[in-house]
Structure formats: structure tokens, C-alpha cells
Homo-oligomer: A and B are copies of this chain.
Amino acid sequence: MFETAELGQKVSKEDYKAAVPVLRERLLTAQARLRDADFPVVLLFAGVDGAGKGESANLLSEWLDPRLLVTRAFGPPSEEESERPEFWRFWRDLPPRGRVGIFLSAWYSNPLLDRVHGRSDLSGFDNDLDRILNLERMLANDGALILKFWMHLGKDAQKKRFHTLEADPLTSWRVTKRDWKHWKMYDKFIATAEHTIMRTSTGRAPWTIVEGADHRYRSLKVGNLLLEALERRLDQQESSAPDNGGGAAAPSAPEQDEQEQRITVLDPLDMTRVLDKKSYKEKLQKYQARLNQLHRRARDEKLTTILVFEGWDAGGKGGAIRRVTSALDARDYQVISIAAPNDEERAHHYLWRFWRHLPRAGRVTVFDRSWYGRVLVERIEDFATDLEWRRSYAEINDFEQQLVEHGAVLLKYWLHITPEEQEIRFQARQETPYKRWKLTDEDWRNREKWDSYEIAVHDMIERTSTQTAPWVLVEGNDKKFARIKVLRTVCKALAERLG
């Protein structure tokens, strides 16, 4: 695979000097166009030590406008980073639309090194690579232009380069013991790299192998590849109709089926369930006391809890959430109310802002509305294209899987009420001055779309309720019953996990 990158390709000083100004100018022009475009650029450099990963990243940040660019390299994770899924720190640093993010090794680093050092077997390694494929597919689907450069150097060339650097006392610091240690594992490293590149080079996130021995050759190569890809994408985008990120027109056939599909997972719920005031008070105290004790153990064992609340307008989310949080110490929980995204959030993949809020280990985070907005309101109101919301089921499952694998307890609540009960509550809100703010025209409009929402909820639950991240459907016509069911199931999930 790497033969073509050991040919000794070179560029003369003169040719380089002639080519660079032209390349730089075109890169800058393309970057200026990118600023107004609707996608981010993700450049990833990986490869053999000494083949110019870092130097190429530096050079690009010299050639490009640094204000529209961010470079990130990752050392060992901090405590806060270890307390979240591995990809948390990569998400934190993803560039917004219009910007360039340059990543050094990044998400490839651990999988590669784990495999080379024998910490993962082949199937574990492939799992790691699958996760990477998911991430890159998700970003590409969201519009990102992804380019990955494998900077290559033959075994002898690497040795020679290290020796040259070491010979001069002023550059010897550039070669570390770690570099030599890695050199000894060269063959194994290259075999692993080959496997990685084969599996993760996709149409929308391709690898390019670059011969790194000659710095002029590799610089021009990287610069030109970036320029070509960027110009091509910009031309495409500018010539295509403004259709929200370039998604193909959605097939409209399924709509028909959906309108006919009338029995949903919500139908079997027994909406007559109630709890009398006395039992409610008793159970409330009982489960709050239990939750408090369970959570203390969870905190000590660094067990993270994530609770997601979705439901009909006036379904009682707020009240249920407060019954949970009032059993907890304020230092241990956080309620994230999800409204429309702000500027910065809108400039990223829709999951970005949820990654941002992931709790540290041992905490409870309650999402009052969540990433499921993508397949509910955004689907119904056409804020997301058909293609976008359809693929988000898989994206959401992958996201939640990462939370669960990292050890979090994840529960998702759907607070269900009947349309009749909703009308009663809307009326009550209208008549109680301090509740009136909760009721908007939008709520009334949403009510008219009850059937569409019911189908969206059905699809959501069917596609995203998993053993490890289940949906709990809550019969919510009686608020007391609903609150106790929420508390009870949180306790149950915690107790099961804590053993």
C-alpha cells in the first residue's frame, strides 16, 4: 500500500518557490469563499513520526487565515475528559461551518496504538474503527468536507531522518526516546496502519497517502490536495440549488404508509391509572429517600446518570423533573432545558450541543427535551430534511451507545397524556395568570398536528428504545401517578446497576 510513498519524490527549491505564492493565494481565496459557505472542513493528519504531520499542520496555519482555523493535538486525557466518553473531547473541538479544523491523529490515535501494543485484539480494533466510521459518516452527512492525510516515511528513511536531526545539537531535541521506541515497532505499526486505511477510507472521508521524506514535495502535495477538494466542493455548492445542505430529495413514498399506520406503541397505555393523594405523599417520600440514598452510592462509585424527558406539551415534564431533583444535592445534578439552538450551536452538527453538556462522572444530568427534537419537532415542522431526520435514529443510537459503554445509566421518559387531558390543562393554563406564559400559540398549533406527532413518537420509540437505553412510557393523565412512576423507575435502574 505504501510503495508509492517511498519513491523518493522531490521538489526542487526553485520549483517550490515558484509554486508556493500561487498556491497560497488560491488557498486564501478558497478559504474566503468557505467563510460564507455552509460546511466545515476537517483535516486529519496521521502517519509515521518524522514524516511531517505537525509540520504540515503548522504550515497550513501559516498559509491560511489563522482566524478561521483551529489546530488540535491531543495528549493523555484529563480527569474531566476521562469522565466522559472518549469522543467527548473531539466533539468539543470540531470546527463550526465556514471554518477549518486541523486534527493531529485525534480519533485514530488510541485505536492504532492499542492495536500495535496488543491492548486490543482484531475484533476490538475493528469495533474501534467502526465507531470512527460512524463519526465521520455523521459529520460528512452533515456537510463536513473531510480529508485525511497519511504522512508516510519508509523504515530506512525514518531512521536516516532521526540520525540527521540528532547529529545537530540544536535539532536533537526533536527526536525523543519514544520516537526510537516506535521505530523498532515500525513493521507492526505499518501493518496496522494499512488495515486502518483500508477500512476507513470512504468516499466522503478518504485517506491520501503522502510521501513525507521531502518537505517541499509533501507541503505542495498537501496544499494542492486541500485546494482541489475545497474548490470542488465550493463549486458544487454554489452551483446546486439552495436545498439545505445538499441532501438529495427525499423519497416521499413512505409518507403514505405512515399516514395509514394507526396503531402506535402509545395505544396500549392504560391512561386511566391514578394515584390518590395519600398514597402519593407516602410514595413520594419513600422514593425520594430511596433515590437520595441510591444516588449517594452512585456518586461514590462515579456512576453517571442521564435522564431524558420528552412528552406532549403540558405533559408534566417540569413537575416530574422537580420531584427527582429535589431528592438530590444541588451540587450533584444539572437540568438542561433545551430550546432553540444559539448561533454557535447552530453552526455545528445538531448533536454537538448535547455532547457539550455531558456530565462528569457521578453526576445526574436531566435533559428537559433533548436530541430527540430532531425526530419530533424538526421532523414535523420540516426543520430537518427527510434524509436528515431519517439518518438521525442511527446517529442517536450510536451517541447513546457511547454514553452507556462509558458506564452511564441512561433513561428516556415519554410523558404521555391524551388529547382530552391536554385540552383541560391548556384551559387551566389560560385561566391561571402565572401559568399563562407556559401556553403559546405554538402549543395550540402543535395540538392540531397530534396525529403526525403520534406517528413520530411511535417511530422514535421503535427505533431508539434499546435494552441499555430504554424508553419508559409514562401514563401521565394523573400527575401524581406519573411522578411516582418516574421516581420508581429511576430508583429501579440505579438499584439494578449498583447491584
Q: Does A318 contact B (CB under 8 A)?
A: yes
Residues of B within 8 A of A339 (CB): 67
Q: Are A432 and B332 in contact (CB under 8 A)?
A: no
Q: Does A25 contact B (CB under 8 A)?
A: yes
Interchain CA distance A171-B342 in the complex, whole Å: 41
Q: Are A170 and B66 in contact (CB under 8 A)?
A: no
Q: Are A331 and B289 in contact (CB under 8 A)?
A: no
Interface string of A57-80 (1 = CB under 8 A from B): 110011101110001011100111
Interchain CA distance A330-B109 in the complex, whole Å: 14
Q: Are B173 and A293 in contact (CB under 8 A)?
A: yes
Q: Across chains A and B, which 7 residue pairs bring their CB atoms closest together, nearest first?
A: A24-B434, A79-B79, A73-B330, A170-B285, A73-B331, A25-B434, A25-B433
Of the listed stretches A8-16, A212-220, A321-329, A469-477, name the one at the interface; the rest are far from the partner chain: A321-329
Interface residues of A in 272-313 (CB under 8 A from B): 285-286, 288-289, 292-293
How many of these chains are in the complex?
2
Q: Are B289 and A58 in contact (CB under 8 A)?
A: no
- Chain B nearest CB: distance from A212 CB in Å? 16
Interface residues of A in 326-353 (CB under 8 A from B): 326, 329-332, 335, 337, 339, 342-344
Q: Does A407 contact B (CB under 8 A)?
A: no
- Chain B nearest CB: distance from A107 CB in Å? 15
Q: Which residue in B61, B168, B330, B360 is a CB contact (below 8 Å) of A71?
A: B330
Q: Does A118 contact B (CB under 8 A)?
A: no
Q: Does A498 contact B (CB under 8 A)?
A: no
Q: Which residue in B75, B169, B326 is a CB contact (below 8 Å) of A58?
A: B326
Q: Does A32 contact B (CB under 8 A)?
A: yes
Q: Are B79 and A78 in contact (CB under 8 A)?
A: yes
Residues of B within 8 A of A360 (CB): 78
Residues of B within 8 A of A174 (CB): 292
Q: Are B75 and A331 in contact (CB under 8 A)?
A: yes
Q: Which residue in B73, B322, B326, B433 is a CB contact (below 8 Å) of A329?
A: B73
CB nearest to A71 among chain B residues: B330
Q: List 11 A-B contacts (CB under 8 A).
A: A54-B329, A57-B330, A58-B326, A63-B434, A71-B330, A104-B331, A168-B285, A171-B289, A173-B289, A174-B292, A343-B344
Residues of B within 8 A of A335 (CB): 61, 66, 71
Q: Are B171 and A285 in contact (CB under 8 A)?
A: yes
Q: Are A28 and B66 in contact (CB under 8 A)?
A: no
Q: Does A368 contact B (CB under 8 A)?
A: yes
Interface string of A170-192 (1 = CB under 8 A from B): 11111000000000000000000
Interface residues of A in 13-41 (CB under 8 A from B): 21, 24-25, 27-28, 32
Residues of B within 8 A of A79 (CB): 78-80
Q: Are A169 and B289 in contact (CB under 8 A)?
A: yes
Q: Are B65 and A437 in contact (CB under 8 A)?
A: yes
Interchain CA distance A324-B223 in the complex, whole Å: 23
Knowing A75-B332, A170-B289, A331-B74 touch, does A21 contact B58 (C-beta < 8 A)? no
Knowing A170-B285, A285-B170 touch, does A368 contact B66 (C-beta < 8 A)? yes
Interchain CA distance A79-B83 in the complex, whole Å: 11
Interchain CA distance A57-B433 in the complex, whole Å: 22
Interchain CA distance A318-B286 in the complex, whole Å: 63
